[in-house]
């Protein structure tokens, strides 16, 4: 929209692309609905702990199944983050900064604001970043 080098291609967009864009929003909406129900039953700390464990297991299954990642410490392996040249980048910049401020920050914000407000704040994220 604000990119002066962007050019229109005038290609027709298929209905399958639009349907895919709509269906990827369903898991996100379910996450906020379930988050609202779960935060009334359990405290935030165990909820975040188990959610992060579930997401890590899910990502490992997808990495091995789709990307054919291996269980080694190369840059293409599952344990590549343990290499000395990758430690700072993986643990501090991606782990703490994006993990806490990106993912856990939104979940913790639901403790003080309604899920609808936090979910709508995600719509502003592309403009702020």
Tally the domains of the chain. Answer: 1
Per-residue pLDDT, 129: 62
Cβ-Cβ contacts under 8 Å for 85 (sequence gap 6 or more):
none
Look up residue 62 and give its two tokens. 């997808």
Residue 8 lies inside a defined structural domain of this protein: no
pLDDT digits (tens, 9 = 90+) for 20-51: 878 888 887 887 788 778 878 888 788 878 87
Q: Domain range for residue 45?
A: 15-128
Amino acid 8: pLDDT = 66
Q: What pLDDT is stored for residue 10 in this prediction?
A: 65
In a domain, 50, yes or no: yes
pTM beyond cutoff 0.85 = no
CB atoms within 10 A of CB 99: 13
* Domain assignment of residue 52, yes or no: yes
For range 53-66, the mean pLDDT: 86
- Backbone torsions φ then ψ of 119, nearest 5 degrees: -65, -40
Residue 6 maps to a domain: no
Residue 54 within any structural domain of the chain = yes
**Residue 85 clears pLDDT 80, i.e. is over it:** yes
Q: Is residue 3 part of a domain?
A: no
Please check whether residue 120 lies inside any domain of the structure: yes
Comparing C-alpha atoms, which of 17, 21, 94 is closest to residue 59? 94
Residue 67: inside a domain: yes
């Amino acid at each position: 929209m604000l990119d002066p080098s962007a050019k229109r291609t005038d290609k027709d967009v298929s209905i399958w692309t639009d349907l895919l864009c709509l269906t990827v929003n369903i898991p996100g909406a379910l996450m906020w609905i379930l988050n609202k129900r779960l935060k009334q039953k359990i405290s935030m700390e165990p909820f975040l702990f188990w959610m992060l464990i579930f997401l890590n297991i899910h990502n490992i299954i997808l990495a091995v199944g789709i990307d054919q990642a291996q269980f080694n410490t190369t840059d293409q392996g599952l344990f590549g983050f343990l290499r000395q040249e990758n430690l700072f980048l993986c643990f501090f910049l991606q782990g703490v900064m994006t993990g806490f401020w990106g993912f856990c920050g939104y979940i913790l914000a639901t403790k003080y604001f309604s899920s609808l407000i936090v979910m709508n704040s995600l719509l502003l994220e592309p403009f702020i970043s």
